[in-house]
Amino acid sequence: MELTGSQLIGDTFSNTGSQSFTGFNPVTGQPLPTIFYEATGEEIDRAVALADQAFLQYRKIRGTDKAIFLETIAEELLELGPTLIETASLETALPETRITGERGRTVGQLRLFAGLLRDGKWENEITDPAQPERQPLPKPALRQVQIPIGPVVVFGASNFPLAFSVAGGDTVSALAAGCPVVFKAHPAHPATCELVGRAMLRAAAKTGMPNGVFSMVHGASYEVGMRLVQHPLIKAVGFTGSFRGGKALFDLAVRRPEPIPVYAEMGSTNPVFFLPRALQKNATALAQAFANAVTMGTGQFCTNPGLFVTLQSDKSFANQIAENLNNISVGAMLTSGIRQAFLNGIDHLKTQEGITSLTAAPTEAVAPTLLLTTAARAIAEPGVTEEVFGPSTVGIIAEDKTSVLAFAKSLKGHLTATIHGTNEDLEEYKELIDILTLKVGRLVFNGFPTGVEVSPAMVHGGPFPATTDARSTSVGTTAIYRFTRPVCFQDMPAVLQEEKW
Ligand code: NAP
C-alpha cells in the first residue's frame, strides 16, 4: 500500500499544508522516505466539524453495531499483516516480536470492548420507580443512563505505536462510548499511524458507520495538538505521553471558555519496595528479575520500575542489581529526542548532592544505569524520584522501617507501586500498604509492574502527576466512563423508553 502522508478527514485524504516532515529510523538516525504534511488550521477544523456531524448519528448506534465496527477494525489490523509489523518496527526500533505482541494486545482490546458493548451491562442503567401516592409529594419515575459526551481528541505515545496509538485504548474506549475520535498522529511513527488510520476507515465504511466517526491529522509541531484541544466542538481529550505534554494540554483545556476533561496518562517511576525477609529468601533471583524489568524495551515503559527501596541492612542488594544491569545491553531508543532526554536526565541526577552511581553511567551511549541515594536525601530533594524515561533506576536506602514509611509518605502520585515481601513482612509493613494505596492506581505484590493486563479490573492511572484525573483508568473496560456522562430522564413516557437517546 502506498502511503500518502495526508490527513485522513473522514473518508477523504487532504494535504493542503506547506509544512512537512518525515519519520526517522532510530537505529541509523536517517530520515524515512515518506513525506508527511502537517495539518493546517482549516484541515483541523474540517476534521472536528465532521466529527461533530457524525456524532449526531453515531451516538444513536446500538452497542451490537458498534461491536461489529470494533471487531472489523481488529480484522483490518490483522489484514495488514507483515507490512504493519515491519513499518512499526522500522519507525520505533522496537523488535518485530514486541510489535507482534503489541498488535495482539491491540486486537484483544478491540474485541474486549466489543464484548462489553454486546453484553450492554456497562450502561449501568439505574431506575427509581414512581411513587404517585407518596406524601406530602408524589415521587417521579427516574431513570439514569450514560450518554456519550461528544467528539474526543486522542494523543498517542511514541513507545506504544499500536496499543497506545491510533487504534489504542483511548480511541477504542471513546468509540465504544459513542464518541467520534480525531486522532493526533505521533510524529515518531507517522507511517504506522497512516496504515492503522486507513484500516479504521475501511472498517467504518464496511460497517456503515457515519463519515467522520474517525479522522486523523498529522503534526510535528505543537500547534496541531493545541488547536485540537482548543476547538470548541471537542468535548474531551485522551492523552498518553510525557508529563510536560500532558500538563501543557491540560492547562490549555481548563483555560478554554468551556473547560473540558483531559485524561492525561503521563510518566511515572513506579517505586518497588524490597522488604527484608523477601530479600533473605530470594535476593539473587529478585536482583536479576528487577534488572530485567528496568531494561525491558530499553526501559521505555511508563510502568518501568525507576525507583526501588531497601533497608540499609540490605544495601548490598543494590550492588547485586547493578552487577546484573552491567551485563545487559539495550537497543536503540525510540527517537533522538528521547535518547538525549535520557542522557541529560542521568547527567542531571548525577550532579545532585548525595547521589552515587553503581553502574558505568552512560555518557554518549545509552546504557542501563543505577544511581543510589538515601531516603532522607530523596525526601529533601523530591526531584530524584521523577521519571528519567529509559533504562535507569534510582535506589533509595532507608535506615529503618520508619524511614521507609516516611519516604513512602513523601511520594507523589504514581501509576504503580510494588511490594516484595513474605507474609510476615507484609504483616509488619501493613502501614506501607495503606500509604501506597493512596499514592497509586495499581499496587503489585511480589511481581513487577511493567506488564499491564488488559482486563476489566485493571486500573492504569493514579493520582497526579501520574495522570491529570485519578478517578479513571486508561486500560481495561472501565476506561469507557471517561467519555460518557450520566443523564436522568424524569417521568419519560413508556412509548419513548425503548429508543436509544
Ligand atoms: P510526548 O512527547 O509527550 O508525546 C505525546 C504526544 O503529545 C505527541 O503527539 C506530541 O506531539 C504531543 N505533545 C507533547 N507535548 C505537547 C504540547 N506541549 N502541546 C501539544 N502537543 C504535545 O510523549 P512521548 O515521548 O511520545 O512518550 C513517552 C512518555 O510517555 C514517557 O514519559 C512515558 O512514561 C509516557 N507514557 C505514559 C503511558 C501511560 O499510560 N501513563 C504510556 C506510555 C508512555 P509532538 O511530538 O508533535 O509534540
Q: What's the 251 CA to ligand 1 centre distance in angstroms?
A: 15
Catalytic residue annotation: 265, 302
113 Cβ inside 6 Å of ligand 1: no
Do residue 225 and residue 323 come from a single domain?
no
* Cβ-contact 472, 444 below 8 angstroms: no
Do residue 338 and residue 231 come from a single domain?
no
Please give the average per-residue pLDDT across 238-262, as a whole number: 97
Do residue 216 and residue 299 come from a single domain?
no
225 Cβ inside 6 Å of ligand 1: yes
Q: What's the 493 CA to ligand 1 centre distance in angstroms?
A: 48
Give CA–CA dist 77/433, Å, rounded: 41
C-alpha cell at 284: 539473587
Do residue 259 and residue 354 come from a single domain?
no
Do residue 358 and residue 244 come from a single domain?
no
Q: What's the 94 CA to ligand 1 centre distance in angstroms?
A: 17
Do residue 477 and residue 387 come from a single domain?
no
Read off the CATH number of the domain in which 157 is found. 3.40.605.10
Residue nearest to atom 48 of ligand 1 (CA): 222
Do residue 64 and residue 172 come from a single domain?
yes
Reported confidence tier of residue 363, pLDDT bands at 50, 70, 90 = low
| Helix/strand/coil percentages in the chain, nearest 5 | 45, 20, 40
**DSSP states of 421-487 as a string?**
--HHHHHHTHHHHHHHHTTEEEEEESS-SS----STT-----STTSBS-TT--SSSGGGGGGGEEEE
Beta carbons within 8 Å of 387's beta carbon, 6+ residues apart: 243, 267, 268, 269, 306
Do residue 215 and residue 357 come from a single domain?
no
Please give the average per-residue pLDDT across 429-451, as a whole number: 98
Straight-line distance from the first to the last Cα atom of the chain, in angstroms, rounded to the nearest whole number: 40
238 Cβ inside 6 Å of ligand 1: no
Question: Crossing angle for the helix pair 190-206 and 63-79, nearest 10 degrees?
Answer: 130
Read off the CATH number of the domain in which 405 is found. 3.40.309.10
Distance of CA 196 to the CA centre of its chain: 18
Do residue 383 and residue 236 come from a single domain?
no
Q: Is the pLDDT of residue 14 over 70?
A: yes
Q: Which DSSP helix (H) or strand (E) runs through 28?
A: none
426 lies in a domain?
A: yes
462 lies in a domain?
A: no
500 lies in a domain?
A: no
228 Cβ inside 6 Å of ligand 1: no
* Cβ-contact 199, 167 below 8 angstroms: yes
Q: Is the pLDDT of residue 241 over 70?
A: yes
Residue nearest to atom 47 of ligand 1 (CA): 220
Number of domains in the chain: 2
Q: What's the 499 CA to ligand 1 centre distance in angstroms?
A: 40
Q: What percent of the chain has pLDDT over 90?
A: 95
Q: What's the 397 CA to ligand 1 centre distance in angstroms?
A: 31
Q: Which atom of ligand 1 is nearest to the CA of 219?
A: 47
Q: What's the 242 CA to ligand 1 centre distance in angstroms?
A: 4
Report the predicted TM-score, pTM, of the whole model to 2 decimal places: 0.95
Beta carbons within 8 Å of 343's beta carbon, 6+ residues apart: 362, 363, 364, 366
Do residue 11 and residue 36 come from a single domain?
yes
Residue nearest to atom 30 of ligand 1 (CA): 241
51 lies in a domain?
A: yes
What confidence tens digit (pLDDT) does each residue in 103-149 have?
999 999 999 999 999 999 999 899 999 999 999 999 999 999 999 99
184 Cβ inside 6 Å of ligand 1: yes
134 lies in a domain?
A: no
What confidence tens digit (pLDDT) does each residue in 336-346 have?
999 999 999 99
450 Cβ inside 6 Å of ligand 1: no
Do residue 337 and residue 384 come from a single domain?
yes
501 lies in a domain?
A: no
Question: Three-state SS for 272?
Answer: strand
370 lies in a domain?
A: yes
Mutate to test the pocket of ligand 1, among 44, 240, 294 (most ligand atoms within 8 A of CB): 240
Do residue 323 and residue 206 come from a single domain?
no
* Cβ-contact 195, 87 below 8 angstroms: yes
**Domain with 396 in it:** 272-445
232-267 in b/e form (b: 16+ CB < 10 A) is eebbbbbbbbbbebbbbbbebbeeeeeebbbbbbbb
Give CA–CA dist 260/195, Å, rounded: 30
365 lies in a domain?
A: yes
249 Cβ inside 6 Å of ligand 1: yes
